[in-house]
Amino acid sequence: MKMKKSTAFLVLLCIVLVLAGVIYIDLFGVDATGKGSASDIKLGLDLAGGVSITYQVVGDEAPDSTDMKDTIYKLQQRVEGYSTEAIVYQEGLNRINIEIPGVQDANKILQELGRPGSLYFIREKDDEGNANYSYTSSGYVLNKTIDEMLADGSITLSGTDVASASAGYQQDNMKNNEIVVSLAMTEEGTQKFAELTKEAYNNNHATIAIYYDGAIVTAPEVQAIITDGHAVINGQRTIEEAEQLASTIRIGGLKLELEEIHSKVVGAQLGTEAIQTSLKAGVIGLIIVAVFMIAVYFVSGFASAIALCIYVALVVLLIRGFDMTLTLSGVAGIILSIGMAVDANVIIFARIREELATGKTTQSSIKIGFDKALSAIVDGNVTTLIAAAVLLFLAPGSIKGFAQTLALGIVVSMFTALVVTRLIMNALYAIGIRDAKWYGIGKERKSINFLGKKGIFFGVSIAVIVAGFIVMGINAYNGKDALNYSLEFKGGTATTVTFNQKMSLEEADQKVTPVITEVTGSAVQVQTVQDSNEIIFKTNTLNVDQRAALEDRLVSDFGVDRSMITTETISSTISNEMKRDTIIAVLVAIACMLLYIRIRFSDIRFGVSSIAALMHDVLVVLAFYAAARVSVGNTFIACMLTIVGYSINASIVIFDRVRENLAEKSRQETIEDVVNKSITQTLSRSIFTSLTTFVMVACLYVLGVTSIRDFALPLMVGIVCGAYSSVCIVGGLWFVLRKKFPAKAK
């Protein structure tokens, strides 16, 4: 349908007003505070700091290591309710440290979190008919001590028998929604719970009290004998009350009883400089990409530049709207997604130029270009969106934060590319910019024989991957780790120093960090403590001599009182359970992507080739990590997941063109001709998308702080590798599989 000139001007005006409005809200907000959405975004520990709470295991004996790991894992799940970026790790032999970003009120957190451990289910009466608890005007009170009830068998079920507890709704007998807390017992707990509910039910629907942290929190009446281990507790007046009860039951299900030692508000690990340089990199990168798009695609590029600005503004607004917690790797991920958001536009514009080259009108070419590009854009983004959805449901907390940002970026980029860019281009055409030269006319390119060199390409890739494993083996043989694991993966030493005067994070990083690095040979993470002169320095694990040498330097160089220096060994913040959950989530995501590609392309060989190319890119980047000894920390997982999404998207674009060309194949053309033709036709897309994405990440690398460079450098390698695999590897893999495993004749 043709757009009138007056309508076109109105559309362009509305788009400009929407862009201005969203930017205004991002910067200044709409309420009386004058704060914009950008300033209200929750920031992670690395960017804004938060509350740090240290618990100690109750008792004189050192706890079992398995119980400690189990307790840490369950606590991690519990505190993710405050933030997906919260971390829990072991400190010393019997202490657990929790760091929760985005909050400043330690007392409130302590009150809500409670004291982990000591949850019991208590029978209403003991074997002799004596009441274990009574109801008074002030609530339920115990008639006996916990020790007495444990001794006489009144307590047979504890918090460790509960597998899960969650708040929600269910329909009552009148078909009305009521608020309940759902419980699920462990295998052992199911049997105990069945016996407990049977006794209570047969005793005139007696109650069972749930006791936690010195008080009875609820005493529901038993309405049935529960044999399957699944029960609900009703009677809560609000969903918040139910959430609190569910939270209490979950935290009471820990194997160890903990007591609070101290709590404090810690400052950001990276300081304001990291945010400022990352934002500066984003602005510079955005300008470069916009100029590049206009220079290459003229009017179409101008439309994409406006759409790109809308994309960035919307992402900032929606991050605040969905209450996401943003870490430095999240900031980098958003800046990276600016480059990736260009991809859909590049695919569309290449299609428009191809149509113009056949002699079609500009208006017809714009319409056909968008229509033909739709399948590649949708399939490429949906496969990545599937991965994000799986990670969101199955991965541990910090990965969920990454998945949220990834999913948001995909959805918004598809909207701006398919809707906003199209509106702008149609409006520009309607106001009189119709000459094909302003959109660019494609040139027929002779197909490049990529498949003829597939043996060379395969050989180079295999050699690089094998070399990576050899380097890792050499590192391990020489007593080093195969990869340069950081504190997050292998733990280390936390040295807390109280200086004679207050020192900012930047000052500590400039003055003290070089001294610590010189003494220990380790990278250093710095954290300040609010309202004190304390600063925490986290390094690789230090031996006794290193600790003594560090103390000597701190005393001599900074005049610190030796008694005000304390050191503790800390465990990794990325536990084995988190690694396991992440690996499972990634494998499930790959399986789901493979299934989607199989359904959409009706050929499992497309899916297998895509996954093989994906693994190729991951392994090459892993080889780079090993050879360059780049620090492997929290951003490592985000980096690898970004490469997975980037790689699968690039493969889909190639295969979408292969599928289209197969349907139009002439009798004279061979399958090899079709693949070479498809790769050649999409070559500009592969180069331009990789180039724009590379520019964004390069800006981060040049302007960013050390930790962001550790994220940006491998990503640049991954982007180059992704372009290489999409052009040189994936088509050849599919061709080989098609020859080795031909389709069965129907």
pLDDT tens digits for range 107-137: 666 666 655 556 889 999 988 889 999 988 8
Domains assigned to the chain:
5-27+270-438 (1.20.1640.10), 50-115 (3.30.70.3400), 119-253 (3.30.1360.200), 451-469+575-740 (1.20.1640.10), 492-570 (3.30.70.100)
- Which has more confidence, 245 or 302? 302
Placement of tokens 């100690």 in the chain: 56
Task: Identify the pLDDT of residue 746.
Answer: 47
Placement of tokens 């936390």 in the chain: 494
Q: pLDDT tens for residues 433-448?
A: 888 888 888 777 788 9
For 235, residues 6+ apart whose C-beta sits below 8 A from its C-beta are 218, 220
Region 643-656: mean pLDDT is 85
Q: By C-alpha distance, which of 344, 342, 311, 315 is closest to 331?
A: 315
Angle at CA of residue 282, ends 614 and 377, nearest 5°: 40
Alpha-carbon span 662 to 660, nearest angstrom:
5
pLDDT averaged over every residue in the chain: 84
Task: Judge whether residue 291 has pLDDT over 90.
Answer: yes
Alpha-carbon span 169 to 176, nearest angstrom:
10
Task: Kindly provide the residue ranges of all beta strands, DSSP E only, lying in 556-626, ordered along the sequence.
Answer: 565-570
In 10 A of CB 8, how many CB atoms?
20
Q: By C-alpha distance, which of 237, 214, 234 is closest to 224?
A: 234
Alpha-carbon span 551 to 500, nearest angstrom:
15
Task: Identify the pLDDT of residue 463.
Answer: 96
- Which has more confidence, 402 or 217? 217
Task: Judge whether residue 290 has pLDDT over 60.
Answer: yes
Of 1-5, 339-343, 388-392, minimum mean pLDDT range? 1-5
Task: Identify the pLDDT of residue 393.
Answer: 80
> Do strands 42-43 and 325-326 pair parallel, antiparallel, or not at all (unpaired)?
parallel
Task: Identify the pLDDT of residue 502.
Answer: 86
- Which has more confidence, 245 or 26? 245
Alpha-carbon span 393 to 238, nearest angstrom:
26
